[in-house]
Amino acid sequence: MVEIVRALQPRADMVARFRDEETAAAAEQAATPLFEPDFEVLFVRSDVERATYRGFDGLRSAMIDWLEPWESYRSEIEELVDLGDRVAVLVRDYGRREGMEREIDFRGVSVYVFRGDRISRIEFHFDREEGMAAVGLRGGGS
């Protein structure tokens, strides 16, 4: 499961990946066999209500909303943690808004939940400590 999750992590600017129709459609087509048809996507932030989306349309809609203020946005894996039927991805995200010269960064945790060999849920925790606690891990990672 860890290798499936590693393969799904974006290696390029996510703004272009999710905003471009053709790129998004190709990514969805390639990833479809790895997901349950009714998979959920949960955005967890302490400063706003949790938001839940369903399927690839929901994932794309959520990402477009999240990426709206960013001119560029990328994510780097710091660590992958095998938790049995879940995989936690400790990430450092980098973003630059229009008019900014420098990127800002923050650390979060994405949790991929599997049902058998397919992903049934993705949780994006924007606070590293909260995300670590949610999956029963201690510390804030690297």
Summarised one tens digit per residue, pLDDT across range 34-64 is 999 999 999 887 766 778 899 999 988 888 8
Mean pLDDT of 77-103: 94
* Domain boundaries along the sequence of the chain: 2-134
* pLDDT tens digits along 108-129: 999 999 999 999 999 999 889 9
Whole-prediction pTM: 0.88
Instruction: Determine how many CB atoms are found less than 10 A away from the CB of residue 125.
Output: 23
Report whether 5 contacts 86 (CB < 8 A).
no
What are φ and ψ of residue 121, in 5° steps? -160, 145
pLDDT of residue 103: 94
Please give the DSSP secondary-structure letter assigned to residue 90: E
Q: What angle do CA 73, 122, 50 make, to 5 degrees?
A: 80
Beta strands in 98-131 (DSSP E): 104-115, 118-125
C-beta separation of 94 from 10 below 8 A: no
| Average pLDDT score, the chain | 89
* CATH number, span 2-134: 3.10.450.50
